[in-house]
Structure 1
Amino acid sequence: APVVCVCTYCIETDGPAIVRINLFVRSIMTISDIKMEYSVQLTFREQWTDERLKFDDIQGRLKYLTLTEANRVWMPDLFFSNEKEGHFHNIIMPNVYIRIFPNGSVLYSIRISLTLACPMNLKLYPLDRQICSLRMASYGWTTNDLVFLWKEGDPVQVVKNLHLPRFTLEKFLTDYCNSKTNTGEYSCLKVDLLFKREFSYYLIQIYIPCCMLVIVSWVSFWLDQGAVPARVSLGVTTLLTMATQTSGINASLPPVSYTKAIDVWTGVCLTFVFGALLEFALVNYASRSGLNKANRAADIHKENLKKKRRDLEQASLDAASDLLDTDSNATFAMKPLVRHPGDPMALEKLRQCEVHMQPPKRPNCCKTWLSKFPTRQCSRSKRIDVISRITFPLVFALFNLVYWSTYLFREEEDETF
């Protein structure tokens, strides 16, 4: 039979000492995403049998003995393997007791507060579920000497109406986690707590504000393309607000090497806001380039009109001169005038001649006035705004459809725990 050394001497046993564990979760204070840890307060109980502690119950009149000094008896060397911090409670009296029953059974109960490591996978954040474990193992005794078992029936109890600020405790699962090292195999117990993140908080604080910022950035599509200060101010303000929102979200999370669901959302929203600002830059460029082309076209049109006017005047003068050079017996509906090249009044006299010619067409003043406005180019820049009014909402709606269907479906897959 194996020999187990307890206290200061050794005794022979028929096998390893069996210690049964029971937990009562009183409260879960915090679950930190940044530090990847959670704090829990619980009542820890373990029960085993020590044959040396048997005593006479005086014909059933003595139920058990209570000890106030735990170091007076042998105790299992249990420790919490994923513990970061922990302490006992001593207000008003130490919250610990040891009961020894007549058959040698020992019950040890203590209230403790623990801060435990909880490695998290944040790929689906904030649509995620997290599994936080509580691991208990033997520090020095191998399974040949000491074995931990869960108490039959209900080994883990949770206080009723347990409320967490951002999580919901869906369920828990008890299991064994024995570990093998080069010194032997050690008994280990664990309880896995499944926490579901409350999405309503993030819907109100993150998703809806981001949607509103994206929609506000689309208001610039309905503003006049000449309202440069208004459209630039709107675009820059929404872009900075979206960037600040993204920075605030990342500040509440640990830096990880993978992309989270919230990163996809904020990244796409930031892209839409930035795209609205770039759209105005494109509209402004198209408007200005069109205006320059229209101005050049108007100048060319004016020069052509002036040239036509000069050509018509010259044609009138040439026609009058040709009529004067014809046969003197011909009948004219005007007084014959002698053209003297040096006479300054010759041109004025020629204009008074009753030459029967088709008068030149006067330019259309309305068309000349409308030609000053770059209607074609304005329609091109306006067309960009009209297309953006339709394209941006449709693409954003398509993104929402893909985003929610993808991540909600993956969230349902996690429910198989």
Structure 2
Amino acid sequence: MDYRLDIYLRQKWVDPRLTFPRVGDTDHVIVSPKDIERVWKPDLFFPNEKSAAFHDVTVPNKLMRVYHNGTVLYSTRITLTLACHMDLRRFPMDHQRCSVEIESYSYETKNLLLEWDHPHGIDREEELDLPQFRLTSQKTEAQAVVYKTGTFPGLTATFDLQRLYGFFILQTYVPTILIVILAWVSFWVNMDAVPARVSLGVTTVLTMATQLSGSKASIPQVHYPKAIDVWMSMCMLFVFISLVEYAFVNALARGTPTKEKEDEEKKEDENDKRGLSTDTFVGPYVIEPKLKSPTTCGVTSGREAAIYLERVAQICFPIAFIIFNIVYWSVYLRPYEY
């Protein structure tokens, strides 16, 4: 919930006590760094600052010019870490609005007025390249801030930032889409190949769990769901359901043996223990063994139901995932309103 700035803070004011006669072409003098502290300066501070530092390499990065008419130009380089309240509900397709707040610490509006030097107030590189954001707009305003100790002058610069989500597309969204598609492959694997189906389902579930934990490690922890949380949770749900689907298919395919079937299998086991063959010779005749009929235990109907469920999953799962993608991207890529 913060961002870092490297700025040149330039201030300009008029101090009649510092006027001097102009000599030739020289209209200003440069004040040495050790004498800058002896000149009056506005007591500015940043209310939303978390940390800040002046630059001192190789010398203190401070510049002060005093012009013959008493105008003072004071410039210093500062690195700031400023607080920014971010709304991450659409992360990583989010837009953020962060500000730089500048106020006078002890001088009230009756003693000191602050204003931007020109309408924009901010000079920046035209091709400003940020690793995670794109600066879409900026604006400045001046206001009076009221505290219990009085009314103080203040300035605010606001930046509108759009997050660049290409990194997340490549590192999170594409891999999870492939994992979900890989989970669908099991629907086309023979239902009798139990080790292959179970291994594929468990592997995709564990891979999704790893992706989910990795995505949470790189973003702030907030109390509300983010867009990436919704995506990862739904992908995990699709992968988990594909594994559960095979449990139903396998149960239907095996069926539930009847009492008659159980007695027949028990009798066959006893004959096997005695070393008897199912083909018994009695004199010149041969008693043919009874053939196992799958219809006696309802296996045939269960097998048909399992095949039907597989075909339904082959069609419904991809359609459901496509519908989820349409809804997800239409919601989180809609125009942003502050």
User: TM-score normalized by structure 1?
Assistant: 0.71
* C-alpha separation in 1, matches of 2:293 and 2:56: 94
Q: Name the SS for the 1:193 alignment partner.
A: strand
Change in Cα spacing, 1:113 to 1:232, as seen in structure 2 (3 Å) is same
What is the correspondence of 1:193-272 to structure 2 with a 5 Å cutoff? Answer: 193-272=159-238
1:67 aligned partner, one-letter code: V
Match of 1:280 among 243, 246, 255: 246
- Which secondary structure state, in structure 1, belongs to the residue aligned with residue 115 of structure 2? strand
Counterpart residue number, 2:333: 408
- Root-mean-square deviation (CA), in Å? 2.6
Cα gap change, 1:61/1:295 in structure 2, threshold over 3 Å: closer, same or farther?
farther
CA deviation profile, 1:40-61 (whole Å, cap 9, x unmatched): 1111100111111111113x53
Alignment of 1:45-56 (within 5 A): 45-56=10-21
**1:153 Cα deviation after fit:** 4.6
Q: Deviations over 1:93-129 (max 9, x none)?
A: 2211111111111110111111111221100101101
- Residue of structure 2 equivalent to 1:327: none
d(CA) in 1 for partners of 2:46, 2:193: 66
Deviations 1:175-229 (A, max 9, x none): 2343211111111111111111112111111111111111101111111111111
5 Å matches for 1:367-386?
374-386=299-311
For residues 295 and 280 of structure 1, what CA distance do their matches in structure 2 show? 28
Q: For the residues of structure 1 that align with 2:264 and 2:86, how far apart are their CA atoms?
A: 70
Change (3 A) 1:298 1:223: farther
Distance (Å, rounded) in 1 between the aligned partners of 2:174 and 2:260: 46
Q: Against the structure 1 CA distance between its residues 70 and 255, is the aligned structure 2 distance closer, same or farther, given a 3 Å change threshold?
A: same
1:117-128 alignment, distance < 5 Å: 117-128=83-94
- 1:62 is matched with 26
Paired letter, 1:381:
A
CA distance in 2, matches of 1:234, 1:56: 87
How far, CA to CA, are the matches of 2:155 and 2:131 in structure 1? 28
Shift of 1:298: 10
CA offsets 1:2-34 (integer angstroms, 9 cap, x no match): xxxxxxxxxxxxxxxxxxxxxxxxxxxxxxxxx
CA contact (8 A) 1:298 1:371 kept: no
Structure 1: distance between partners of 2:329 and 2:107? 51
From 35, 39, 43, the equivalent of 2:4 is: 39
CA distance change for structure 1 residues 163 and 131 in 2, over 3 Å: closer, same or farther? same
**For residues 149-160 of structure 1, what are the structure 2 equivalents within 5 Å?**
149-160=115-126
Q: Any unmatched runs of 5+ in structure 1?
A: 1-35, 303-347, 349-362
Superposed counterparts of 1:1-80, under 5 Å: 36-58=1-23, 61-68=25-32, 69-80=35-46
For 1:295 and 1:402, how far apart are their aligned partners in 2? 53
The aligned residue for residue 270 of structure 2 is none
Q: In structure 2, which of residues 317, 324, 327 is the aligned counterpart of residue 399 of structure 1?
A: 324
Could you say which residue in structure 2 is the equivalent of 1:86? Answer: 52
Q: In structure 2, give the amino acid aligned to 1:54.
A: T
Q: Secondary structure at the match of 1:116?
A: strand
Cα distance between partner residues in 1 of 2:214 and 2:93: 18
Whether the 8 Å contact between 2:95 and 2:336 is mirrored in structure 1 is no
Shift of residue 139 of structure 1?
0.6
Percent identity among equivalent residues?
40
1:355 matched to which residue of 2?
A: none
Q: Residue 175 and residue 124 in structure 1: after superposition, are their counterparts in 2 closer, same or farther (change >3 A)?
A: same
Report if aligned partners of 1:87, 1:113 keep a CA contact under 8 Å in 2: yes
* Larger radius of gyration between Structure 1 and Structure 2: 1
Give the whole-Å Cα distance in 1 for the aligned partners of 2:201 and 2:226: 26
Classify 1:48/1:287 alpha carbon distance in 2 versus 1 (closer, same or farther; 3 Å). Answer: same
Are residues 283 and 260 of structure 1, via their aligned partners in 2, closer, same or farther at CA, if it must alter by over 3 Å? same
CA contact 1:167–1:196 (8 Å) conserved in 2: yes
Alpha-carbon distance, 1:294 to partner: 10
Report the alpha carbon displacement of residue 404 of structure 1 after superposing the two structures with TM: 1.0
Give the counterpart letter for 1:61 in structure 2. D
Give the equivalent residue in structure 1 for 2:127.
161
What's the CA shift string for 1:66-95, capped at 9, x where partnerless?
Answer: 112211111100011111121111222221
Is the 2:120–2:139 contact (alpha carbons within 8 Å) kept by the matching residues of 1? no
Query: Post-superposition shift, 1:370?
Result: 6.6
Q: Is the 8 A contact 1:294 1:374 kept in 2?
A: no
State the partner residue of 2:62: 96
Q: Which sections of structure 2, spanning at least 5 residues, go unmatched?
A: 268-282
1-structure distance, mates of 2:210, 2:193: 26
- Output the amino acid matched with 2:7: L
Q: Displacement of 1:379 after TM fit? A: 1.0
Q: Is the 8 A contact 2:84 2:98 kept in 1?
A: yes
Aligned counterparts of 1:200 and 1:227: Cα–Cα separation in 2? 39
Distance 1:127 1:70 in 2: 46
The count of aligned residue pairs is 316
Going from structure 1 to structure 2, the CA distance change for 1:377 and 1:174 (only over 3 Å counts) comes to same
**Match of residue 171, structure 1, among 109, 128, 137:** 137
Cα distance in structure 1, aligned partners of 2:207 and 2:292: 47
SS in 2 for 1:159: coil
The 1:295–1:245 alpha-carbon spacing in structure 2 relative to 1, beyond 3 Å, is farther
